[in-house]
Structure 1
Amino acid sequence: MHTTKVPAGIVSALGVTQIIGYGTLYYSFSILAPGMANDLGISLERVFAVFSVSLFIGGLSAPFIGRHMDKIGAATVMTLGSALAAFTLALCAWSPSVSLFALAIVLLEVSSGMVQYQAAFATLVESEPRTASRSITYLTLIGGFASTIFWPIAATLTGYLSWREIYLVFAALNLLVCMPLHYWIMRDGRSSSKTDETRTREVVVGALELQARRRGMLLVSLAFSLSGFTLAAILAHMVPMLGAIGLGSAAVVIGSLFGPAQVMSRLINMVFGKSLSPPALAIVSAALMVVGAVILGLSGDWLPGAVAFAVCLGLGSGINSIAQGSLPLYLFGSAGYGAITGKMAAARLATGAAAPFAFAAAMNHFGTAISLFVFAALGTLGILAFVAVASSARRDRVT
C-alpha cells in the first residue's frame, strides 16, 4: 500500500522560499516605497499606482503560469521564477528611469506568480495529492511569518542601505537560497516519479460532477474575488484608517495584531480543523472578514472594537490562504490543478488590484463607517457564493 505521509522536507523547503518570496517581493515594498519615490523624483502615490498596475498585470499572467505548471511541473516553474525574481530585483535596483522601474516592477509581479502560494500549492499537489490539503495548512502556517520577519528586516536595512542596495540583497536571497531549494524539489519529484510508478497514477477526484464544474468554477472565482477585494481594500488602508477614526498612536499596535491572528487561525485549523471541509473553511474565512469590518464600522474609535476588528480580519485572512489551495483540490481534483488555480488567481488578483483605490475613494466620499459597511456587503455576497458551492458539492457527493 502506498504511503501518504506529508512530505515534511518539501513543506519545510517551500516554507523558507515562501517567507523570502513574500518578504522580498511583496511585504517589503511598502517600507521601501518612500525611498523609491524620493530617488526617482515622483510622488509616493505614483509609486503605489505602479505597484497596483503590476498586481493587475501579474494577475492576468496567472492562468498562463498555471497551465505551464501542469505541462512542465510546478517546481520547474518555481525554479525559473526564482531566477526571474532575482533578475527583476536587480533590474529594479539598476533602473535609471521611471519607465524602466515600472517595467521591472511589472516583471517582479509576474515572477511572484511563479514562486508564491499559487505555485507552492501546485507543487504540494504534484508531490502528494492525498495529503496536499494538510501540507497546504502546514505551509501557510510557516509562510505566515513573512511579514513578521521582513517588515523589521526591510525597515532596519533602510538605516544602512539605499532601496537599490536592499533590492540587490533581496536578489541574492532569491538566487542563492530560493532557486537551489526549488531545484532540489524539482529533482526530488523527478527521481521519485521514476522509482515509484504508482505516484503518477495517484490522483484526488473532485467533489463536483463534470457538468457542475463550470458553474462551480465561476462561483468559486467570484467568491474568492469578492472576499479578496474586501480584504485587499481594508488591509491597504488599515493603519491610516485606524488612526483617522481617532485611535492615534494605538493604530500601529492594533494593526500589528493582524499578523499573529493570521498565524493563530492556521494553527487552530491545523490542530482542530480536520472536521471542517474546505467549503466550510472558505465560508468561515469570508464570514470572519465581514464580521471584522462590521464591528469596526459600528464601534468607531472604541478600542476593544478595533482590536476585535484586527483579530477577526487576521483570522479570516489566515484561513482564506488555506482555502485558496484546498478548496479547488476538493472541488475539482488534482488533475489540471495548476490551470484551475491559475484562472482563479487571475480573477482574484485582477479585482484585488483595484481595491485600495476603490476603498480610498469610498472613504473620501462617504466616510469610513459607510465604506466599511459597503465592502462588508460585497464580502457577504462572497459568503453566499461559497454557500452555493458547498451545497452543490454536497449534492454531488450524495448523488
Structure 2
Amino acid sequence: MNTVTEPQRPNRRKIVLLGLLQILSWGGSFYLLGVLADPIAADTGWSHQWVLGGASLGLLVAALLSPLCGRLIARVGGRKVLAAHGLILAAGLGLLAIAPSLPVFLLAWAVLGAAMATGLYDALFTSLGAMYGMKARPVIVGITLISGFTTTLIWPLLAIMNQAMGWRSTCAVLGVIVLFTLFPLYRYALAEHVPMPPRAKIAAGNGQALAPSIYGCMTALFAIAAALMTCLSIVLLTVLQARGHSLASAIALGALIGPAQVLCRVGDLLIKRQAPMFTALLSSGMTALGLLLVDFAQDLVIWGLLCYGVGNGLRAIVKSTLPMVVVHSADYAVVSGRMARPALLAQAAAPLACGYVIATWGSEAVIHLLTALALIAFGLCLWLVRLIKRQGPVA
C-alpha cells in the first residue's frame, strides 16, 4: 500500500520569511535596473537601450527555462530548486559587478534570467501548489502581502547603496547578501519533497493533463496580464506627464497602485474564500475597468489606478490557484512551468513593444492599446470560466 503524508504547511513565521526572501529575489533581479539602469549607462557609456535590454534578455532566458523548472520541481521538489536559486542569483550579481564589457554584462543577465526562472513567484508558488494543492492559497496570499512591498523597500535601499559605493559594489554586496540568506533560508522555510506514489508519477507530465482549449485560453490570459503589468509600469509616468501632470504628481498617482494591491490581498486573506474563478473574474474585470477610467476619464484617474491596483494585486493569486481547479496535483508543477513561458516571453517583449509604439504613435496610443488588451483579457476570462464549468473541476 502506497501512502503519502502531506507535508505541514508553513507557519506564520515561515510565511513572513518567504515573503522577505521574495523581496530579495525580486529586488536582486527583476527590479534591479529600476534604480541602477541610469548609473550603469552613465558609468560605462553603454546605451540606455542596451542596458535595459539586459532585463529583456533575462526574462527571455527565464521563459526558455520555465518548463524545465516545472519538471525539476515535480521531480526533486521546490526546496532544492529555490535553494539553488540563491546560488545562481549570487553568481549573476557577482558577474554583473565585475562585467568589463557589454557582452559580459548581457551574460550576467542571462545568469540572472536562470535565477528568475528558479526563484520568483512562478517557481515558489508552483512548489507550494504542488505540495499543498488549494490549501496553499492562504500561504501564497500571505507571501504576496509581504513581497508586495518590494519596490517600496528595495528601490530606496539600492539608491542609497549606489550613492554610497557605486553600482558595481552595490551588485557585489547584494550578491553576498543573497548568497548567505537565500540558500539556507529557503531550505529552512520550505518542506522536504514528498515523492509521488507510482500512479501519480505515471500521470505527471502527461501532455493531456489539461484540455487544449482550457490550456490555451488560460495561458493567453496569463500572458496578457503579465504584459499589461510590465507595460504599464514602463509607460504610466510618461502617459500622465503627457497629459499635464508634473513628475511629482505622476509619481504620487502611480504610488496608489501599491497600497491597492496590498489591501486587496489583505481582503482576500481575511475573507478566506476558496473561489479561484471568481477571483480571476474580479482581477481581470478590475484591471479592465481601471484602464478604461485611466484612458477615457481623466477626472477619475485616481479611481482608475486604484481599480487597476486591485486587479493586478490579485493577478499572482489567480495565476497560482486557477490551474488547481482543473489540474491534478501530480501534473500541477509541470503544467505551471509550461504556462509560465508565454507570460515571461510577453514580459520580455513588452519594453521593446512599448518603446516602438511610443516612438511611432505616441504615449496615448500605448494606453489605448493596453485598454484594448485588458478588455480582451476580461473576455478571455469569461470564456475560460465557461469552459471550466463545462468540463467540471478536477476530482
TM-score (norm 2): 0.90
The alpha-carbon distance between structure 1 residues 267 and 398, as it changes in their structure 2 partners (threshold 3 A), is closer
> Which deviates the most, 353-362 or 170-179?
353-362
Alpha-carbon distance in structure 2 between the residues aligned to 1:12 and 1:126: 20
Q: Distance in 1 between matches of 2:367 and 2:84?
A: 40
SS of corresponding position for 1:335: helix
The alpha-carbon deviation at position 272 of structure 1 amounts to: 2.5
Identity %: 25
Tell me the residue number matched to 1:256.
Answer: 255
**CA offsets, 1:4-54, max 9 Å, x none?**
974215423321211111122122321011111122211212211222232
Give per-residue Cα distances to partners, 1:146-203, cap 9 Å, x unaligned: 11110111112122011111111211221111110112245x425xx59xx9x99999
2:347 aligned with 1:348, yes or no?
Answer: no
Corresponding residue to 1:372 among 348, 367, 371 = 367
* 1:189 match: secondary structure: coil
Residues 239, 367 of structure 2: 8 Å contact kept:
no
The SS at the match of 2:31 is: helix
Task: Rate the CA distance shift 1:156–1:112 in 2: closer, same or farther, 3 A.
Answer: same
Alignment match of 1:175 (pick from 174, 179, 185): 179
Q: How does 1:238-387 map to 2 (within 5 A)?
A: 238-248=236-246, 249-272=248-271, 274=273, 277-300=275-298, 302=299, 305-387=300-382
Deviates more, 1:322-331 or 1:5-14: 5-14
Deviation digits for residues 190-249 of structure 1 (CA, Å, limit 9, x no counterpart): 5xx59xx9x99999x9xxxx6862221111001111222222111112223222221112
Give the structure 1 partner of residue 386 of structure 2.
Answer: 391
User: Taking structure 1 as reference, are residues 385 and 156 closer, same or farther at Cα in structure 2, changes over 3 Å only?
Assistant: same
Q: Residue type matched to 1:369 in 2?
A: E
1:66-124 CA distances to partner (integer Å, 9 max, x unpaired)? Answer: 11111111111111111011011001101111100111012102111111111111222
Q: How does 1:138-177 map to 2 (within 5 A)?
A: 138-177=142-181
Q: CA RMSD in A?
A: 2.8
8 Å contact from structure 1 (residues 278, 323) kept in 2: yes
In 2, the alpha carbon distance for the partners of 1:295 and 1:357 equals 25
Distance 1:212 1:179, change over 3 A: closer
Partner of 2:217: 219
Q: Distance in 2 between matches of 1:5 and 1:65?
A: 23
> Structure 1 82/306 Cα, relative in aligned 2: closer, same or farther at 3 Å?
same
**Equivalent position amino acid for 1:173 in 2:** I
Aligned counterpart, 1:52: 56
Offset at 1:251?
A: 0.5
Instruction: Extract unaligned runs of 5+ from structure 1.
Output: none
Distance 1:271 1:395 in 2: 30
Query: Does structure 2 retain, via aligned residues, the 8 Å contact 1:127–1:189?
Result: no
Contact 2:77 2:192 in 1 (8 A): no
Offset at residue 366 of structure 1 (A): 3.2
Correspondent of 2:124 among 116, 120, 123:
120
Of stretches 146-155 and 230-239 in structure 1, the one that deviates more from structure 2 is 230-239
Runs in 1 of length 4+ with deviation above 6 angstroms? 2-5, 199-203
Amino acid at match of 2:245: L
Separation in 2 of the partners of 1:372 and 1:74?
38
Q: Is the 8 A contact 1:261 1:315 kept in 2?
A: yes
Question: Conserved in 1, the CA contact under 8 Å of 2:54 and 2:105?
Answer: no
